[in-house]
Structure 1
Amino acid sequence: MRLAATGMLILMAGLFLLSGRYLDLHPSWGYLHAFAEAAMVGGLADWFAVTALFRRPLGLPIPHTAIIPENKDRIADTMAQFLRENFLTPAVVARRMSGMNIADALGKFLSDPSTGSGSRIRAGAGDLFVEILESLDPDRLGGQVSSGLKTQLEKIDVAPLLGRMASVAIADGRHTPLMESLIRWSGLVLEDNEDLVREMIHQRANGIVRWTGLDERLATSVLDGLYKILAEVLVDPDHPLRDKVQEGLEDLADKLQHDPETQQRVERLKLELLANPALGEWWQGVWERIRGGLIDMVQGKDMAFSGLGGSLNDLGIALRQDQRLQYQVNRFARRTAVGVATRYGDQIVQLVSETVRRWDARTLTDRIEGAVGRDLQFIRINGTLVGGLVGVTIHFLSQWLW
């Protein structure tokens, strides 16, 4: 395209010289001469403008030329800011993610037969491990383990232990992620039950309020207020509600360690749980599944971890067929992406900015020119043609007006 634009400029120069020799022969030569002259001016002007973007025309140190190389760092910052404001905002990410069915794509991947195959265990130690597991009496061993665990747990004062663990966790701030998870969960529950909240407010509003439509505004205000409180508690580590919750946790931890009544309630609950036959049956089932799973894993010489592969395949099928599960997975992915954009958006755009800054001026110029250079050469061609048409128009008006 650069050759085409330059060739057109040379063609106009040739027509200008040719038509200049025959101006006296016929008036039409004057129109051709005017067209060629104005086309050269337009082509040269656009050549200068296009060239000045990427380099200095003819190597001359003309001010305000080589714009891209001279402003490389500013362009990098502008590109990064543009990316941050137009692509990495939560609203844009959420809108783009809403049209993607990530769960279905994941389901197709997991349900692929080649995905479930794992590595193979073919060592003599594996055979020995299988023989040991098969030689054990599952009922007897499971019962012994269950009885031993029950005996040891009965000797442990659970309440003070839980209290000390809670106190240490609170002192180290390790309760904060749990608290934030509960706040996020509360927001999700509120979001999923907005219609129920609105209906409750609507039912409790009197007739005049419903007639004027204020009940809907009241419901919206209540929901907005609740969302605002949850958001403030989530982002403000010094929020008063956080302090109240922490005070409650500290009081519970203190009671677990020093309040005999609370300790007795916890002890009774522990003993009732240990005495429940369902707990022994549950442990027996867990042990047998662990034992059977280990045996199957090691014995699967031709397809080790086939159980895992089958589970992945089942999960993939469920992801493809269960619309509710798809909705949950896609919503989780969308909110995760929004969280990443919100939390790490600045680091992402900083990476873009620093990458462009590290490019040398020639690399940046070549990449931008390679992307838009073809269209810029069309500007030169159009400038040549438009300039010629303007020249013909001016020549026509000058012939008829003067």
Structure 2
Amino acid sequence: MTAPLPASRFSAAQPGAAGMKAAATGLLVVMAVVFFGARAFEASYPWLAWVKAFAEAGMVGGLADWFAVTALFRHPLGLPIPHTAIIPRNKDRIGDSLANFLKDNFLVAPVVARRMRNIDLAGAAGKFLQAPQGQETRIRQGASRLIADLFESLDDERLGGLVKGAISTRLRNAEVSPLLGHALASAINEDRHVPMLEAAIRWIARALDANEELIRDMVKKRTNWILKLAGVDTRLSDSILDGLRKLSADMHTDPAHPVRVRIEQALADLANDLQTKPETREKVEQLKLDLLENRSVGLWIDTLWQKGREAIIRAARNPDAAMAGKLGDVLKSMGQSLENDPRMRRAINQFARRAVAGMAASYGGSIVKLVSETVRRWDARTITDRLENAVGRDLQYIRINGTLVGGTVGLLLHAADTL
């Protein structure tokens, strides 16, 4: 059961409602005093009959409206009179009605789309991105502060787990083999693989120089003692090293070298197998799953999340820095495009309308359920206090008007009876 909200929540409304309640009650008391006074002196002053008629009818009207207003929120005088304390007894039905009102008038996809038709989100985003550095708007300040506070206040471990889980799930569900094959084929067709291939050839040459003694030692260990006496192991090592160096040099200088051509053909075959060969795709997918199970990959994803979170907080705390440099130029260029390109603005606004309407269609029922269940969890005192403080001032005006209107009607009836 939800406890009533603190009194400070309604401190702005309570004095006005309390003052009007005192005024309405005071007017009712005045009518009673006038009525009894006029009745006491009516025999000596016949004209007081008119005053008595006004006060009597005003007193009746004031009492009737007091009863009606009080019956909305509680039992008058604490008596369990039928059809009183209407709001506390029907709070669940009120919550359901309010929820259905929201659903029927605000959370229906066509209604949302129609209301958003005249909202230019793309234009607003364009102006927002073009705001000069150091002169950010109140919206940017508020949005930046909200984003920073949100990321700092949320449970880092739980939120990080959600993000990492989402990344891991997306990677598991995504078939990377065709993507890798397509990327490799595109690189080969556009000769973007050539710098990497030449870098690999240069690396092989440097590796030969760095491991010359290791190669010589391997040849020496595999040569029998007779050949060693003849110095064949040394000449064999020199021949192997010279041949490998010449091979790497020729491959580096000759794009049509047979070995280089075979490597490129092997890469092309791999690109094709990644896209079309089931067994190759299965091996790559299994390798992907093995990598995702590796603890080092999990730590790497965790590091990505932490760095991304820190970067978002830094940018939100200092929007001027985030809008500076190349990133700021890119964002400002995007803002100009959004503001000056009608076709792009229409496309983005249409996408936003469809997205919000889709959210209303998908989650409108959940929002309605949330409103209904929230009202159901409130205790009778909470909902009574909230509604009474929201409309109490106007209800006391009803009491005052009832007293004055009742008095006027009583005066007219007395006039009709007399004349």
TM interval, shorter chain, is 0.5 to 0.7
**Selected match of 1:80 from 77, 80, 99:** 99
CA distance in 1, matches of 2:369, 2:265: 56
Is residue 373 of structure 1 aligned with residue 395 of structure 2?
no
Alpha-carbon deviation of 1:142? Answer: 4.8
Find the counterpart in structure 2 of residue 397 from structure 1. Answer: 416
Is residue 141 of structure 1 aligned with residue 195 of structure 2?
yes
Q: Structure 1 length normalisation: TM-score?
A: 0.55
Could you say what secondary structure the match of 1:98 adopts? Answer: coil
Q: Deviations over 1:6-62 (max 9, x none)?
A: 111111111111111221234431111011001111100100100111111111222
Asked whether the 8 Å contact 2:67–2:76 carries over to 1, the reply is yes
Could you say what secondary structure the match of 2:362 adopts? Answer: helix
CA distance in 1, matches of 2:326, 2:406: 75
**Selected match of 1:106 from 125, 131, 135:** 125
**Selected match of 2:56 from 9, 33, 37:** 37
CA distance in 2, matches of 1:380, 1:89: 39
**Selected match of 2:113 from 79, 94, 98:** 94
Alpha-carbon deviation of 1:369? Answer: 1.2
Which blocks of at least 5 consecutive residues in structure 1 are unaligned?
120-137, 166-301
**Selected match of 2:269 from 154, 179, 183:** 154
Asked whether the 8 Å contact 2:273–2:280 carries over to 1, the reply is no
**Selected match of 2:350 from 309, 326, 331:** 331
The 1:355–1:12 alpha-carbon spacing in structure 2 relative to 1, beyond 3 Å, is same
**Selected match of 1:346 from 365, 375, 384:** 365
Find the counterpart in structure 2 of residue 217 from structure 1. Answer: none
The 1:354–1:149 alpha-carbon spacing in structure 2 relative to 1, beyond 3 Å, is farther
CA distance in 2, matches of 1:395, 1:111: 74
* Amino acid aligned to 1:316: G
The 1:321–1:342 alpha-carbon spacing in structure 2 relative to 1, beyond 3 Å, is same
* Amino acid aligned to 2:416: L
Is residue 67 of structure 1 aligned with residue 86 of structure 2?
yes
The 1:158–1:9 alpha-carbon spacing in structure 2 relative to 1, beyond 3 Å, is same
CA distance in 1, matches of 2:199, 2:390: 69
CA distance in 2, matches of 1:139, 1:162: 25
Asked whether the 8 Å contact 2:274–2:280 carries over to 1, the reply is no
Asked whether the 8 Å contact 2:70–2:76 carries over to 1, the reply is yes
* Amino acid aligned to 1:80: A
Find the counterpart in structure 2 of residue 383 from structure 1. Answer: 402
Which blocks of at least 5 consecutive residues in structure 2 are unaligned?
1-19, 149-191, 201-259, 282-319
CA distance in 2, matches of 1:390, 1:151: 104
The 1:329–1:73 alpha-carbon spacing in structure 2 relative to 1, beyond 3 Å, is same
Q: Deviations over 1:128-148 (max 9, x none)?
A: xxxxxxxxxx99735648997
CA distance in 2, matches of 1:92, 1:54: 34
The 1:63–1:152 alpha-carbon spacing in structure 2 relative to 1, beyond 3 Å, is same
Q: Deviations over 1:237-275 (max 9, x none)?
A: xxxxxxxxxxxxxxxxxxxxxxxxxxxxxxxxxxxxxxx
Alpha-carbon deviation of 1:396? Answer: 1.1
Is residue 52 of structure 1 aligned with residue 167 of structure 2?
no
Task: Out of 380-389 and 154-163, give the one that drifted further.
Answer: 154-163
CA distance in 2, matches of 1:9, 1:18: 14
Task: Out of 373-382 and 17-26, give the one that drifted further.
Answer: 17-26
* Amino acid aligned to 2:125: L
The residue correspondences of 1:131-280 to structure 2 (distance < 5 A) are 141-142=195-196, 144=198, 151-155=266-270, 156-157=272-273, 160-161=276-277
Alpha-carbon deviation of 1:319? Answer: 1.6
The 1:164–1:344 alpha-carbon spacing in structure 2 relative to 1, beyond 3 Å, is farther
**RMSD (Å), alpha carbons:** 3.3
**Selected match of 1:308 from 314, 327, 332:** 327
Aligned length, in residue pairs: 246
Find the counterpart in structure 1 of residue 29 from structure 2. Answer: 10
Q: Structure 2 length normalisation: TM-score?
A: 0.53
Q: Deviations over 1:295-347 (max 9, x none)?
A: xxxxxxx9688323321221122222322222111111111111111111100
Find the counterpart in structure 2 of residue 184 from structure 1. Answer: none
* Amino acid aligned to 2:329: G
Q: Deviations over 1:137-174 (max 9, x none)?
A: x9973564899787423343366348998xxxxxxxxx
CA distance in 2, matches of 1:18, 1:351: 57
Larger CA Rg, structure 1 vs 2: 2
The 1:154–1:388 alpha-carbon spacing in structure 2 relative to 1, beyond 3 Å, is same
The 1:18–1:309 alpha-carbon spacing in structure 2 relative to 1, beyond 3 Å, is same
CA distance in 2, matches of 1:19, 1:358: 52
